[in-house]
Structure 1
Amino acid sequence: MTDLVYEQPLNEKIRSYLRLEYLNKQLSNNLNHDHQHRCFYPLFSLCELSERCDYRNEVLKDIERNLIQLGKWQALEHVDKQQIEQYIEALSLAREPLQKPERCGTQLKQDRFLSALRQRFGMPGACCNFDLPQLHYWLAKPWEERQQDYRHWIAHFEPLLNPINLLLQLTRSTAHFDNATAHAGFFQGDSAQALSLVRVKLDAAHGCYPTISGHKNRYAIHFVQFDQQRHSDRSIDFLLATCA
């Protein structure tokens, strides 16, 4: 078995960032492997999320806040100044494309091929060739051509997804994993500092998974036995990181 990492956001902003990061990973996976029509699900999910909410202003604020904090860290002793400078450079570069007023993905709404597919993809079993002959035609193209199309489509979201990846990297870097034990399958913690993310690393050989709940100053972790789908009554050793 192997160690699995579970994450629980403690505020809506990090919750949104994690969802976008998850979709970004699916996009990358689809770009490297031919998954046929399944490649459209994360793409259309991103379209819908970006239409519901304009993340640009929130991301720009977070970039500015982190640049100020990184600038303060530069003045401290015993810090990795090279890594800090790399983050400052990466965040500064990622900020530039977000200065444009247009929402990410807006131009894809004008793509007639994608619009026709998107209307159908929400319906069960509606991707048959008689429903979407244009999809049947596109899937018959060589993978290299389809890969180029897909790369063009996801490029519309990169100005948003790239800085979010950097911001989540910085969030995760605020805390290291420490040893912890859940007695009778339960662990509770609190923090005087506002937290944004709880991370649990657990050996899958335990045969259980954590369900995590909480808010910025307090959190609780219940471990559930997978086979029985019920709360574990065993003491479980795991690794815990609480990120600011």
Structure 2
Amino acid sequence: MLLRLEDLFDKIDFFSARDTSFEHHAALVALFEILDVTSRSDLKSDLLQELDKQRAMLEGLQDNPDVSEKALIHILQDIRAAFRGLLDIPGRIGGYLRDDEWLMSVKQRMNIPGGACEFDLPAYHYWLNMTPEARRADFKNWIAPLAPIRSGINIVLNILRNSGTKFSYLAVNGVFQQAGSEHQAHLLRLHISDEISCIPEISANKFALNIRFVPWRSGHKAEVYEEDVPFELTFCSL
């Protein structure tokens, strides 16, 4: 879920920074998707719990000569600021957006394929024809209260991504399998050369890790890449 929310926040940043109504429509779609994702979980308490766990762990490293004191102080300050921000969020995440009748009327129509046309939502069409600066001001007001959520997500994912151990493997004839629980991970990061035109498909549980590489062929049925594929795999855990 954190990866999905990170992607959606990035999309809002990208599209809302542009000027056209089509791009601002895409930014609003991403905002509504954030509402949908966060409505089905206890994200706030999960982030608070994880941030508190990381704070306690990092505070235990303050006297470690192998750890940069400056970097440690910086990340601890970020964690404490995000923690306080999350505590200050009242009620459900995005509750203020759900209380906006106009936004919810637009969201409801967007759930219908092609349902946000100007003849369906004249008020939305009016908004899309306002100046880009006016629309961006609205986005700023809508997104600002979500800043502690985004900050908490960024901190947790940054710690997770930098916690990993990297290994080099070879997928023989495009297939790699690893049985048992040799490496436990909350996140897998896979890297292959840009010169290899294939896509990794990963399935994993506590009993096995399976990776198969399929060639990129638009409009074709996926088939295993029939060559050996060297790759790097990083096992990241909190």
Query: TM > 0.5 between the two?
Result: yes
Q: 2:75: which partner in 1? A: 87
1:66 aligns with 2:54: yes
Query: Match of 2:233?
Result: 240
Give distance in 2, aligned partners of 1:167 and 1:105.
20
Structure 1 position 27 matched with structure 2 position 15: no
- Return 5+ residue gaps in structure 2 as ranges: none
Alignment pair present for 1:145 and 2:134: yes
Distance 1:74 1:182, change over 3 A: farther
Aligned equivalent of 1:211, options 190, 201, 221? 201
Structure 1 residue 17 corresponds to structure 2 residue 2: yes
Q: Select the residue among 28, 35, 51 that pairs with 1:47.
A: 35
Match of 1:163 among 152, 169, 177: 152
Identity, % of aligned pairs? 28
Say if 2:183 and 2:235, in contact at 8 Å, map to a contact too: no
Aligned length: 229
Match of 2:106 among 117, 120, 123: 117
Tell me, in whole angstroms, the C-alpha distance in 1 between the residues paired with 2:167 and 2:110: 44
- Superposed CA RMSD: 1.8
2:167–2:234 Cα contact (<8 Å) kept: yes
Shift, 1:237, TM fit: 1.5
- Large movers: runs of 4+ above 6 Å: none
Does residue 107 of structure 1 match 2:96? yes
Distance 2:130 2:96 in 1: 24
What is the distance in 2 between the residues matched to 1:205 and 1:234? 13
Question: For the Cα contact (< 8 Å) 1:195–1:217, is it kept in 2?
Answer: no
Matched residue type, 2:121: L
Q: Deviations over 1:77-103 (max 9, x none)?
A: 322222222111101000012113412
